[in-house]
Amino acid sequence: MSIQSSLLERTVTPQLESDHLLAFHKLPLDMQFLPRLEGVQSARVVHYAVWPGEFSVPAGVAREEEAHLIAGYQSKWREESLSWSALESALSMECKQVIDIADATLARSTDNSVALRIGGLLNYTEYCELFLRAERLTLTRRDGQGLGIAGLLKIGEEYWAAFEQRRNHDPEGSPRAT
């Protein structure tokens, strides 16, 4: 994901790419999804300063204990602010300087206003979270075709349904285009 924004127009437009969704749905591999937030009221970024103490997971530890150890280590990290302009400067699709999205949450109000939280790795090295609040959200494809949130959710759900079905029949578990 990379981002374009305009203070004057009060917009933020993340540029989302998903190679696995594009391949699965046989869409052009250079296709992007463009959620456009309009009437942006808040755009915040936090990143995490990693605790500098020593940490390792002992060999042979059960997965549950490993998860517990990692959670304890991550609880020592410090949340810090990052300016929006610094975030945008750090991103460049051409140089593959992006946010690799790990998770996202969208909340919508009855007046169509939205709040969006995106968490992921900035340039594949540093976890950050973006928090956006805006009057409205539209979603199109790079080719101009309207998609909407429901359309994006649908193609994602189709991918994950195929993934689950394939996983039940194949230990490798990756979906293939249909």
What are the pLDDT digits (tens) for 91-102?
A: 876 666 788 888
For residue 95, the model assigns a pLDDT of 62
Question: For residues 85, 86, 90 and 92, what is the CA-based torsion angle, rounded to 10 degrees?
Answer: 10
Q: What are phi and psi of 58, to 5 degrees?
A: -60, 145
Query: What rounded mean pLDDT belongs to the chain?
Result: 88
Give the Å distances, CA to CA, from 159 to 21, 56, 171. 7, 35, 17
Give the distance from CA 58 to its chain's centroid.
31
For residue 78, the model assigns a pLDDT of 93
For residue 126, the model assigns a pLDDT of 86
Q: What is the mean pLDDT of residues 8-21?
A: 90
C-beta atoms surrounding 45 within 10 Å: 23
For residue 123, the model assigns a pLDDT of 84
Model confidence pLDDT, tens digit, residues 104-153 = 999 999 998 999 999 998 888 888 999 999 999 999 988 888 888 888 88
Q: Using CA atoms, how far apart are residues 1 and 4, in angstroms rounded to an integer? A: 10
Higher confidence at residue 10 or residue 176? 10
109 residue type, one letter = S
Contact (Cβ atoms closer than 8 angstroms) between residue 100 and residue 121: yes
Q: Using CA atoms, how far apart are residues 162 and 128, in angstroms rounded to an integer? A: 30
DSSP code for 178: -
pTM for the model: 0.78
Give the distance from CA 70 to its chain's centroid.
22
19 residue type, one letter = D
Classify residue 39 as left (phi > 0), alpha (psi -120 to 50) or beta. Answer: left
Helix (H) or strand (E) holding 156: helix 148-169
Give the pLDDT band of residue 177 (cuts 50, 70, 90). Answer: low
Q: What is the mean pLDDT of residues 159-165?
A: 87
Residue 86, SS3 per DSSP: helix
Q: Which of 127, 114, 122, 137 is nearest to 37 (CA)?
A: 137
Model confidence pLDDT, tens digit, residues 55-102 = 999 999 999 999 999 999 999 999 999 999 989 888 876 666 788 888
For residue 84, the model assigns a pLDDT of 92
Instruction: Please tell me the least confidently modeled range out of 27-31, 61-65, 85-89, 173-177.
Output: 173-177
Say yes or no to pLDDT of 173 above 60.
no
